[in-house]
Structure 1
């Protein structure tokens, strides 16, 4: 038996590195664990020694106190690891494999999984379809911002890298396969991005930057990224995107200056429910601002990909409707323009193998695009604070010294 340290939510605005139990092949009671999952046996799982685990904007929603996350919930759903133990029912994954873990936990057995809808698996969360590691109301599977983590249904869930040495050499890119790269790619694909497309991405955080890089990979002619944060916009420009600074007004006029018309073929919402207004309202939280803006700037017959997170419960919202996830949408405008909308968790397994091949064959440099930076797990509180303050950085935690070296 060995020790285990992890990053835990300690209350609004606060995370700490704490000691937790080494994982076993059984779900035990703990912060956020659904009572119906307590005692659940996991002979189909593996225990990973974490290679990298990333801080995500979705984690920040909880840390800001914008969800019902309980104190001491272990965070982290972006996980890459080395297999150190396998359950008795695991056939095809072996000790020593380096693997990427989709943030969606899925069983591979239910109707939705068999249809490729792995973001809404029916069997892993007793409350509702869909689950994830270290996330509120997602069944209580312990998060991966830790030295060791349990992954269920390993033969189904894990993406094994073909060569260990190559994987470790490219680990800062490959770590993005657990969430933000497939999520950004899903946003671009569901927005209909293809060769010659003009694309607007709302939000220059890591998911927005991943969506922009994905749009380029898909052949977009012009990718425009909008945000209120000039440092993040500079990061978007660093790999060839055009940018719109929303503190200067609505995006339509600035898009017209770039394209000659005030609209785009495809749009991606990489912001979610903590959206703010534009121009003179840029300091005001307006949860529907991005969605309504995208309906205005997307050409008739176009599509919107919405990987940005929207929640059913937001106790920090300013009005009762938003606290229940009810937003004032201009749905009539979207209907009149025959726009298509795709929402929900990205089904990571739909994309991660293909994106792995793009990384391994140098077709994309996703770590560079999102400005990835590795830090020790002990520095996680600093990483959270800097990311929350608007740093144009994707923080990658290194719990076991694979990236920064052994201590």
Structure 2
């Protein structure tokens, strides 16, 4: 039996590659595993040899110490891999299949899954609806920034690529199907983007760039991306977005008016989340800034998509309310303007097949939009450091050296 090396959270600002147990078709005890999940048999699952697994901004929140994640947690919820073992109850997934794994873990049996709400499955996380690999308070399913990983409910969840050779040629695009491409697309769809829309995307990290690319795919007339990071804004400009440098001016409506002639947009997407900063040259952390500014610049009757992460426990928050996820929102403004919004995890399975087809047929080029950059498993700790300082890259970990660079 081979070993299994994995990227492990060791404490705030510290990740390292460790040797962990080779996966089995059972959820064993370990860091972050809910006691009610220990010993859970997964004959409906598969073991994957990981082909690619990406560093996500959500991982970075944990690594910064901004969640209650325990030391020893194996990271990684963006997984693409080859099936090397199938459970007794798996019928349609076969050894040798190359598959994308939605970051949401979903049983396919509960009411929410049957209604297509796989992001809030009722059966995989004893703490609350919804689960994910390698993430705090998500039930304890082992993360996939590793050489091998177990994926439960395989027949329901995984997306098989129709041709392995073609998939490996486009693997840097297809690896984004596990999370950020569907997440950005969900943000744009939730915001009501359609042909001719004007769109503001808050945040030029990988999810923000994915949302901007998605808005273009949906036919937006103008996509404006705002951020405090000049390098990431340049990446947004590289594929045709307008940009707003939020360090230079604290009035977002005025900056939008300079671009559109009016100080508002049809649709807005929050791709920042709970570590948001205020605007202007003296900006500092202000977690409700993005939500409130989006309500300000979204037209009356407009919509907001909020794929940006908000948590119920943040030990590093700026005040006691924010430590519990309680933010000071201008809900009165949102009510007066009749703005609707959608938040929560993205139901990846709602979108990943159609986005796969867009990639395979040259309609979507998400790897270029997010500047996909391949690194080895041993380079992952440095990748986290580089990502934390704001480089305009989406790091793709290649545990077995299978990706052509």
Q: Same fold (TM over 0.5)?
A: yes
Partner of 2:276: 275
Q: CA deviation at 1:404?
A: 4.6
SS at 1:299 equivalent: strand
Aligned pairs for 1:152-167 (under 5 A) are 152-167=152-167
What are structure 1's unaligned runs of at least 5 residues? none
Aligned pairs for 1:118-267 (under 5 A) are 118-249=118-249, 250-267=251-268
Measured in 1, the distance between the counterparts of 2:404 and 2:123 equals 38
Q: CA deviation at 1:252?
A: 1.1
Measured in 2, the distance between the counterparts of 1:401 and 1:90 equals 28
Measured in 1, the distance between the counterparts of 2:344 and 2:321 equals 20
SS at 1:378 equivalent: coil
Measured in 2, the distance between the counterparts of 1:363 and 1:26 equals 39
Aligned residues: CA RMSD: 0.7
Q: Deviations over 1:18-46 (max 9, x none)?
A: 00000001111111111000000000000
Measured in 2, the distance between the counterparts of 1:318 and 1:201 equals 24
Partner of 2:4: 4
Q: Deviations over 1:255-280 (max 9, x none)?
A: 10110000000000000000000014
Runs of 4+ in 1 over 2 A off after TM superposition: none
Measured in 1, the distance between the counterparts of 2:29 and 2:360 equals 40
- Asked if 1:332 is matched to 2:319, the reply is no
Contact conserved, 1:31 with 1:71, CA < 8 A, in 2? yes
Aligned pairs for 1:4-403 (under 5 A) are 4-249=4-249, 250-282=251-283, 284-403=284-403
Aligned length: 404
What are structure 2's unaligned runs of at least 5 residues? none
Q: Deviations over 1:107-164 (max 9, x none)?
A: 0000000000000000000111000000000000000000000000000010000000
Measured in 2, the distance between the counterparts of 1:170 and 1:385 equals 27
Contact conserved, 1:374 with 1:404, CA < 8 A, in 2? no
Measured in 2, the distance between the counterparts of 1:143 and 1:338 equals 40
Contact conserved, 2:286 with 2:318, CA < 8 A, in 1? no
Measured in 2, the distance between the counterparts of 1:251 and 1:179 equals 29
Measured in 1, the distance between the counterparts of 2:281 and 2:364 equals 37
Measured in 1, the distance between the counterparts of 2:110 and 2:393 equals 37
Bigger Cα displacement from structure 2, 72-81 vs 244-253: 244-253
SS at 1:99 equivalent: strand
Q: CA deviation at 1:281?
A: 4.0
Q: CA deviation at 1:401?
A: 1.1
Q: CA deviation at 1:188?
A: 0.1
